[in-house]
A and B are shown apart, each in its own frame.
Chain A
Amino acid sequence: MPVLELEDVVKEYPGSPPVRALDGVSLSIDAGELVALVGPSGSGKSTLLNVVGALDQPTSGTVRVDGRDVGVLSDAALSAVRGRSIGFVFQHFHLLDGQTALDNVATGLLYRGIPAGERRERAAAALDRVGLGHRTEHRPRALSGGERQRVAIARAIVGEPAIVLADEPTGNLDTRTGAEVLDRLQQLHDEGATIIVITHDPGIAGRLPRCVSIRDGRVTDDERRP
Chain B
Amino acid sequence: MTAAVEPSRLRTRDALATSTLGLRGKRGRTLLTAVGIAIGIAAMVSVVGISASSRADLLAELDALGTNLLQVTPGQSRFGDESTLPTTAPAMVRRVGPVTAAASTTSVAATVRRTDHIPLAETGGISVVATEPDLAGVLHATLAEGRFLDDATADYPTVVLGSVAAERLGITSLGGSPQVWLGERWFTVIGILDSLPLAPDIDRSALIGYAAAAEHFGTDPSASAVWVRADDDQIASVREVLPTTANPENPDEVEVTRPSDALEAEAKADDALTALLLGLGGVALLVGGIGIANVMVISVLERRTEIGLRRALGATRRHVRAQFVVEAVVLAALGGIAGILLGTAVTAGYAANRGWSLAVPVPALAGGVAVALVVGAVAGLYPASRAARLAPAEAVRPA
Interface residues of chain A, those whose CB is within 8 Å of chain B, are: 46, 50, 53, 55-56, 67-69, 73, 75-77, 79-86, 88, 90, 92, 94, 96-99, 107-108, 110-113, 115-116, 155, 167
- Whole-angstrom CA separation of A146 from B284 in the bound complex: 50
In the assembled complex, the CB of A153 is this many whole angstroms from the nearest CB of chain B, namely 14
The closest CB in chain B to the CB of A96 belongs to: B306
- When A and B form their complex, which 4 residue pairs have the shortest distance between CB atoms, in order from nearest? A83-B314, A113-B9, A111-B314, A55-B393
In the assembled complex, the CB of A65 is this many whole angstroms from the nearest CB of chain B, namely 10
The closest CB in chain B to the CB of A70 belongs to: B5
Flag B380-399 by CB within 8 Å of A: 1 or 0 each. Answer: 00000000000111001110
Contacts A88-B396, A94-B309; A82 near B11 (Cβ below 8 A): no
Q: Are A110 and B14 in contact (CB under 8 A)?
A: yes
Could you jot down 18 A-B contacts, CB within 8 Å? Answer: A55-B393, A75-B316, A76-B318, A79-B317, A80-B314, A80-B316, A81-B5, A82-B311, A83-B315, A88-B313, A94-B305, A94-B306, A110-B315, A111-B9, A111-B315, A113-B10, A116-B14, A155-B313
In the assembled complex, the CB of A41 is this many whole angstroms from the nearest CB of chain B, namely 12
Flag B13-27 by CB within 8 Å of A: 1 or 0 each. Answer: 110001001001100
Contacts A67-B2, A82-B314, A112-B314; A55 near B8 (Cβ below 8 A): no
Q: Are A79 and B396 in contact (CB under 8 A)?
A: no
In the assembled complex, the CB of B70 is this many whole angstroms from the nearest CB of chain A, namely 72
- Whole-angstrom CA separation of A212 from B13 in the bound complex: 44
Q: Which of A46, A56, A76, A111 contacts B313 (CB 8 A)?
A: A111
What residues of chain B lie closer than 8 Å to A167, measured between beta carbons?
Answer: 397
In the assembled complex, the CB of B12 is this many whole angstroms from the nearest CB of chain A, namely 10
In the assembled complex, the CB of B268 is this many whole angstroms from the nearest CB of chain A, namely 54
Q: Are A76 and B8 in contact (CB under 8 A)?
A: yes
Q: Are A84 and B6 in contact (CB under 8 A)?
A: yes
- Whole-angstrom CA separation of A81 from B396 in the bound complex: 17
Q: Are A96 and B8 in contact (CB under 8 A)?
A: no
Q: Are A79 and B21 in contact (CB under 8 A)?
A: no
What residues of chain B lie closer than 8 Å to A111, measured between beta carbons?
Answer: 8-10, 310, 313-316, 319
Q: Which of B1, B8, B21, B312 contacts A112 (CB 8 A)?
A: B8
Q: Are B317 and A75 in contact (CB under 8 A)?
A: yes
The verdict on B308 contacting chain A, using a C-beta distance below 8 Å, is yes
Q: Are A90 and B396 in contact (CB under 8 A)?
A: yes
Interface residues of chain B, those whose CB is within 8 Å of chain A, are: 1-3, 5-11, 13-14, 18, 21, 24-25, 305-306, 308-319, 391-393, 396-398
- Whole-angstrom CA separation of A56 from B394 in the bound complex: 10
- Whole-angstrom CA separation of A176 from B259 in the bound complex: 95
- Whole-angstrom CA separation of A115 from B3 in the bound complex: 25
The closest CB in chain B to the CB of A94 belongs to: B309
What residues of chain A lie closer than 8 Å to B3, measured between beta carbons?
Answer: 67
- Whole-angstrom CA separation of A79 from B319 in the bound complex: 10
- Whole-angstrom CA separation of A189 from B347 in the bound complex: 68
Q: Are B24 and A98 in contact (CB under 8 A)?
A: yes
The closest CB in chain A to the CB of B315 belongs to: A111
What residues of chain A lie closer than 8 Å to B314, measured between beta carbons?
Answer: 79-80, 82-84, 110-112
In the assembled complex, the CB of A44 is this many whole angstroms from the nearest CB of chain B, namely 13
The closest CB in chain A to the CB of B26 belongs to: A98
What residues of chain B lie closer than 8 Å to A84, measured between beta carbons?
Answer: 5-6, 8, 314
- Whole-angstrom CA separation of A67 from B25 in the bound complex: 40
- Whole-angstrom CA separation of A166 from B312 in the bound complex: 12
What residues of chain A lie closer than 8 Å to B1, measured between beta carbons?
Answer: 67
Q: Are A79 and B305 in contact (CB under 8 A)?
A: no
What residues of chain A lie closer than 8 Å to B308, measured between beta carbons?
Answer: 94
The closest CB in chain A to the CB of B320 belongs to: A79
Q: Are A115 and B11 in contact (CB under 8 A)?
A: yes
What residues of chain A lie closer than 8 Å to B8, measured between beta carbons?
Answer: 76, 79-80, 83-84, 111-112
- Whole-angstrom CA separation of A56 from B3 in the bound complex: 21
Max chain B Cβ within 10 angstroms of own Cβ: one of A53, A84, A92, A110: A110
Q: Are A92 and B11 in contact (CB under 8 A)?
A: no
Q: Are B25 and A80 in contact (CB under 8 A)?
A: no
In the assembled complex, the CB of B324 is this many whole angstroms from the nearest CB of chain A, namely 15
- Whole-angstrom CA separation of A86 from B13 in the bound complex: 25
Q: Are B5 and A73 in contact (CB under 8 A)?
A: yes
What residues of chain B lie closer than 8 Å to A110, measured between beta carbons?
Answer: 10, 14, 18, 310, 313-315
- Whole-angstrom CA separation of A85 from B2 in the bound complex: 13
